[in-house]
Structure 1
Amino acid sequence: MEEFVRSHAIAAASAVTFSTAFVYPLDTLKTLLQVGAGTGPKLDIRQVCGRLQSIAGLSGFYSGFGWTVLGRIPAIGTRFGLYELFTAFYKDGREDNHVYVSEALLAGLASGAVEAVISTPFDLFKLRMQVASACHSSSLKHHHADEIVKPIIAKLLPGYVPDKLAWVHNADLLSKLPNKHPNLIDALKGYPWLLTGSGRQPSAYDVKGPSQVVTLEGWSSIWRGLRPGLFRDSIFSGIFFSCWQAIHIALLEWKSLEMDHPQRFPEEISSISPIEASIAAGISGSIAAASSHSFDTAKSRSQCVVIPKYIAMERKLLKWKPPGTWFERLSGIHPADRQMLSRGIGLRMVRSGVACTALVGSYFLAVDYLL
């Protein structure tokens, strides 16, 4: 029994790694299209590929691959494991081993929600690495900035470029007070919270490592994008399993038409082949990706925003209310991103379809080889 479980675990991990590596360049391009969308002219795939190759080379297409694999192995294992657990309760007490499409949808929604909680931190670090691969290094600029600011600002705001005009403006406002400080500008440099809103906000490619994220943004920031992630993974998992089950039932019914005697239970019909199961999974993955893509874009864009701890504290003290409608606040969609939610949908559909096909096909091949 232990050997059986070990073999299936090795086969699943190998299938996840292979399928992820096979389509990872598409994921990188999709992410860069999402986070690079703005009010200016739209970037196309050719422009993104050219920029990525000129800055990071071919290795840039696989930036953050390690974080993706570390996150997808437990996340996909949780998705399929919980799905089998939930559907086992539906099938309990039935004569056949049949699962209805609606039951597969509900089980997929629940398993996808748990998957989102596990994968969100890994998605954050993966996205920051992907963005960094397409951006020029600013280490020299950071070194120059650290020389002219106080150490406390350099610690709280890595990548911060001082705005001398903002300091002069604040000094002019405070110089009208009765008790003047002999050097107001140098005094302001010791109080970074007085500089809120001035200077340049730290970029995502400057804060990409776990230690950098935790130091600047706090522990809670590693789950940034969880709300759109919950919607994305729940919808994706629910649509994926329900479509896969519907295609599976259709294939069994089509095979039953070729039999001489009608069968009472689906188990009495010969099971579908691994190739048919792989193709069915690929079609289901593409449909699920299209259904959940808006929340995938919202998650990518929210994780690309760096919010230092002191700004988050100010928002909490001031009881800052996020903009947008009630649904946008609930799902984590920023109202400024309404026109950008479909960016990269074609790439994600192709990536998910090919990845699901490769995942199921390589899993069957690995199981046959090991067992």
Structure 2
Amino acid sequence: MELIYFFLLHIFDLFQMDELWKNKIYAIHTIAAAGSVTFGTAVTYPLDTIKVLVQVGSGSSKQLTATQALERVRYISGYSGLFSGFGWFAFGRILGVGARFGTYEIVTAFYKDGRQHNYVYSSEALMAGMVAGAAESLISSPFELIKLRAQVTSASRVPSHFSMTKKRVVAPVIEKLLCGYGPDKNALNYAVGLLSTLTNKHPNMTGALQGYPWMMTGSGSPPSVCDVRRPSKILSLEGWSAMWRGLRPGLVRDSVYGGIFFSTWQFLHQAMLDWKAVGMDPIPSVNEDVDPLSPLAVSLSAGFSGSVAGAVSHFFDTAKCRSLCTVLPKFVSLERKLLKWKRPGSRFERFTGIHPADRNVLFNGIWLRMARCGVASFFMVGYYFLAVDQLVSRGSRLT
């Protein structure tokens, strides 16, 4: 009881104004970071929605353009459909970006330990950024799955099953495998028609076919993404492992993005410091003696770094998005494990999670992703500097 008393007393003291003012630097940076990530995500979210639709809606024979994707969203869901799934993605983005920058600072602290100058080489920033990107991928993967399926649903016609609920009789095993979903009657009748050449002695072949898991949708295909887009539906049909589907391309994408982003940003930051140091007399020997760079210059360098990193890692982003757009029931995953199913494609494709059928669509939406990553990085860094400056000045006036 004494331990609980002292713990509660410490929490009470922590929320007093004096303690808050002593620790204001942590609160200010936390609030500014969360606000900057949310603002940067909100500004670029329509670009992300169009990019995702172009990536998952294109095939090797037919390419979906950005204009067509925008018109489809506007026609089906209105302009509000461009922000479908924003809440999930913003929350996951705050956690993911926080993990990225936090992991980067921790790793680079080991590099700078014991050095006279607070300096990180671009190669070291590359390695630290790859580790930081992997940490971000592990945290943000579940939120990205829900976000992507919401975006796809905004551009898809969702059939109404409510009027046919009473007419559908589904086997109990199917109800457990796929909660709340009924088979497509037209597709099921078509499948029965294909079997009409065989000797039909079963009194109810349609009902019998519904008892087989691979015929649960009536077509032998998994359910549509529009039917399995909520967390409860995903967990009931696909299981917890679905939350980290596409982990291979996601890890490679975020690792490459983090490494290229931080190494390019470190290189540009050092180049701007060297350029500014040339005009000083005497020329400073360490970076700490150089006047701080303007927030606009830092934001522009971050935006350029984000665009370059987005272009380099775009192929893996396409593979990640297309894998998340596939519904994989639990019984199919179990069958693959039992049969020791091997991934198709070359060794590089198996390692990175790229499906061979996606080879011709890996470049789709690359300019949209470059724009989204660049603009998001620019606004995120710029808003962060602005928010910190405003919060610090306001806190000084209050004291």
Q: CA deviation at 1:181?
A: 5.6
Larger mean CA deviation between 120-129 and 31-40 belongs to 31-40
Q: Amino acid of the residue matched to residue 373 of structure 2?
A: S
Q: Does 1:164 align with 2:189?
A: yes
Q: Distance in 1 between matches of 2:193 and 2:37?
A: 55
Q: C-alpha offsets along residues 220-279 of structure 1, whole Å, 9 cap, x if unaligned? A: 111111110100100001000000000011001111111122221111111211111101
Q: Does 1:333 align with 2:358?
A: no
Q: Distance in 1 between matches of 2:169 and 2:384?
A: 55
Contact 1:160 1:201 in 2 (8 A): no
Q: Decide which of 90, 101, 107 is 1:69's aligned counterpart.
A: 90
Q: Does 1:135 align with 2:156?
A: yes
Q: Decide which of 317, 327, 337 is 1:316's aligned counterpart.
A: 337
Q: Amino acid of the residue matched to residue 189 of structure 1?
A: Q
Closer, same or farther in 2 for the Cα pair 1:314/1:198, shift >3 Å? farther
Residue correspondences, number: 366
Q: CA deviation at 1:358?
A: 0.2
Q: Distance in 1 between matches of 2:175 and 2:298?
A: 55
Give structure 1 regions of 4+ aligned residues with deviation exceeding 2 angstroms. 142-149, 151-160, 164-175, 180-201
* RMSD of equivalent CA atoms: 2.1
Q: Distance in 1 between matches of 2:176 and 2:197?
A: 27
Q: Distance in 2 between matches of 1:320 and 1:168?
A: 32
Closer, same or farther in 2 for the Cα pair 1:160/1:154, shift >3 Å? farther
Closer, same or farther in 2 for the Cα pair 1:57/1:281, shift >3 Å? same
Closer, same or farther in 2 for the Cα pair 1:6/1:363, shift >3 Å? same
Q: Distance in 2 between matches of 1:205 and 1:188?
A: 24
Q: CA deviation at 1:147?
A: 2.5
Per the alignment, residue 388 of structure 2 pairs with 367
Q: Distance in 1 between matches of 2:241 and 2:388?
A: 39
Contact 2:184 2:217 in 1 (8 A): no
Q: Distance in 1 between matches of 2:110 and 2:267?
A: 19
Q: CA deviation at 1:40?
A: 3.5
Larger mean CA deviation between 163-172 and 78-87 belongs to 163-172
Aligned runs of 1:106-185 on 2, under 5 Å? 106-140=127-161, 143-144=163-164, 147-152=167-172, 153-157=174-178, 158=181, 160-162=183-185, 163-167=188-192, 183-185=204-206
Per the alignment, residue 347 of structure 1 pairs with 368
Q: CA deviation at 1:184?
A: 4.7
Contact 2:260 2:305 in 1 (8 A): yes
Q: Distance in 1 between matches of 2:217 and 2:68?
A: 35
TM-score by length of 2: 0.87
Q: CA deviation at 1:43?
A: 1.8
Identity %: 54
Q: C-alpha offsets along residues 266-321 of structure 1, whole Å, 9 cap, x if unaligned? A: 11111211111101100000000001000000000000000111111222222111
Closer, same or farther in 2 for the Cα pair 1:146/1:328, shift >3 Å? farther
Q: CA deviation at 1:327?
A: 1.3
Contact 1:154 1:160 in 2 (8 A): no
Closer, same or farther in 2 for the Cα pair 1:184/1:33, shift >3 Å? closer
Contact 2:171 2:210 in 1 (8 A): no
Q: Distance in 2 between matches of 1:314 and 1:174?
A: 30
Q: Amino acid of the residue matched to residue 241 of structure 2?
A: S
Per the alignment, residue 65 of structure 2 pairs with 44
Q: Distance in 1 between matches of 2:363 and 2:356?
A: 14
Q: Distance in 2 between matches of 1:135 and 1:182?
A: 37
Larger mean CA deviation between 310-319 and 214-223 belongs to 310-319
Per the alignment, residue 248 of structure 2 pairs with 227
Contact 2:345 2:356 in 1 (8 A): yes
Q: Amino acid of the residue matched to residue 101 of structure 1?
A: S
Closer, same or farther in 2 for the Cα pair 1:151/1:187, shift >3 Å? closer
Q: CA deviation at 1:186?
A: 2.9
Q: CA deviation at 1:326?
A: 1.3
| 5+ residue gaps, structure 1 | none
Q: Distance in 1 between matches of 2:373 and 2:85?
A: 18
Q: Distance in 2 between matches of 1:4 and 1:315?
A: 51
Q: CA deviation at 1:218?
A: 1.0
Contact 1:159 1:206 in 2 (8 A): no
Per the alignment, residue 237 of structure 2 pairs with 216
Q: Does 1:205 align with 2:194?
A: no
Closer, same or farther in 2 for the Cα pair 1:134/1:194, shift >3 Å? closer
